[in-house]
Amino acid sequence: MTDALTITRDLIRCPSVTPADAGALGVLEALLKDAGFTTHRVTFSEAGTADIDNLYARIGTEGPHITFAGHTDVVPPGDEAAWSLGAFSGEVKDGYIYGRGAVDMKGGIACSVAAALAYLRDHGGKPKGSISFLITGDEEDVSINGTIKLLQWAAERGEKFDHCVLGEPSNQEVMGDCIKIGRRGSQSGTLIVEGKQGHVAYPHRASNPVPDISRLIVALSDEPLDHGSAQFQPSNLEFTTVDVGNTATNVIAGIARAKFNIRYNDCHTQESLRALVEERLARACGNRIRAHIDWLPSNSNVFLTKPGPFTDLAVAAIAEVTGRRPELSTTGGTSDARFISSYCPVIEFGLVGQTMHQIDERASVADIATLTKIYRGILDRYFA
Ligand SMILES: [Zn+2]
């Protein structure tokens, strides 16, 4: 059976809690192979992380080449007893299919596979260009042995992608309300203020880093990093911890640390952002406070797929099926689109995200049919 609901059910029944695969990639590989795709299973490793299985499948040798990306791994179910229907049951009740991954994002992958197979059936088994699938089992955790390496592997084989649709649950309330065309970057760091430890009764012999780190937190939090850009909301810097590691009330701590994360837009690069924050820190410190920032490595750069023919084509397919014109959004957390954007323009469009990562994650059966039609509409227009 190659309808989207059946594929969704078969995927949900594989308990592929990251990093386990539990047969999920095999479900897709068998369907795609049957339809004439050349398939590759590629395992990537790195010390300290679990080996991850990935799937690449392509039909056609010419351009244009559209690829559907996604992940079959899911977050843990939480308290399985709390689910109305089993967390990996794939059962349908009152118009919803239940199970971990139903919306994030086994349902989205199932719709793209069903749409591609239907397109091929209607076109003598061959696309006018190429259709491929880039499916990883490593998105919900560290994202080290998944999309990032699969893209490098594909590039080394000479694979060239013209456009990508990533089926993450992009819609907020109803099908067709939102396409993601970019994401903000993410950069974390720790602010460290060095004081001098001492007795609280003799503060002149110590240097208390607590008031100073408070001043620096306020200084760095209060001044906007920018005022947003054409496609992005303003960047924001959020302090998430403050810590002196002190258990005594009669001791002035010698050092204070505060962790922060910045979600930044296309007014910045990682380098310019770090420079801006350090310059502000230096100004706030003057020549009295001794402080510095330890930056964490980040592979979450900001990206944007500029509105143009490809987004227009997706909007037209969505409008035809749903009657809605989606917002082109850049909000939310990171996704594998940040890696794909270095290879080709990428948009994210999938199911409605309301129940993702929750107990009773479920996808509307009607939405699965709608998404399959939209993906089919994208393929029809893409190869028209
Ligand atoms: Zn996801």
Catalytic residue among 29, 139, 266, 367: 139
* C-alpha of residue 140 to centroid of ligand 1, in Å: 7
Set 73, 159, 361, 367: catalytic member: 73
pLDDT digits (tens, 9 = 90+) for 145-177: 999 999 999 999 999 999 999 999 999 999 999
Per-residue pLDDT at 176: 98
Residues with CB under 5 A from ligand 1 (ion): 104-105, 168
Q: Annotation-wise, does 357 bind a ligand? A: yes
Angle between helices 4-12 and 24-34 (to 10 degrees): 150
Expressed in angstroms and rounded, the spacing between residue 168 Cα and the centre of ligand 1 is 5
Given a contact cutoff of 8 angstroms between Cβ atoms, the answer to whether 363 and 109 are in contact is no
The DSSP secondary-structure symbol of 104 reads I
Ligand 1 centre to CA of 137 (Å) is 11
Beta bridge partners of 68: 133, 165
Could you read off the pLDDT of 40-82 as tens digits, one per residue? Answer: 999 999 999 999 999 999 999 999 999 999 999 999 999 999 9
Distance CA(351)–CA(89), nearest Å, equals 19
Residue at token pair 């203020």: 193
C-alpha count within 13 angstroms, C-beta hemisphere, residue 41: 15
d(C-alpha 117, C-alpha 164), whole Å: 17
What is the rounded distance in angstroms from the CA atom of residue 311 to the CA atom of residue 318? 10
Ordered domains of the chain (ranges, CATH): 4-183+302-382 (3.40.630.10), 185-295 (3.30.70.360)
Q: Is the peptide bond before 326 cis (omega within 30 degrees of 0)?
A: no
292 labeled binding residue: no
**Cα-to-centroid distance, 143 and ligand 1 (Å):** 11
pTM here is 0.90
Tell me if residue 288 falls in helix, strand or coil: coil
pLDDT digits (tens, 9 = 90+) for 170-205: 999 999 999 999 999 999 999 999 999 999 999 999
pLDDT confidence bin for 334, thresholds 50/70/90: confident
| 367 labeled binding residue | no
Q: CA-to-CA distance for 56 and 80, rounded, in angstroms?
A: 32
pLDDT at position 59, please? Answer: 98
**Alpha-carbon dihedral sign for residues 274, 336, 78, 84:** positive
pLDDT for 333 equals 83
Q: Is 73 tagged catalytic?
A: yes
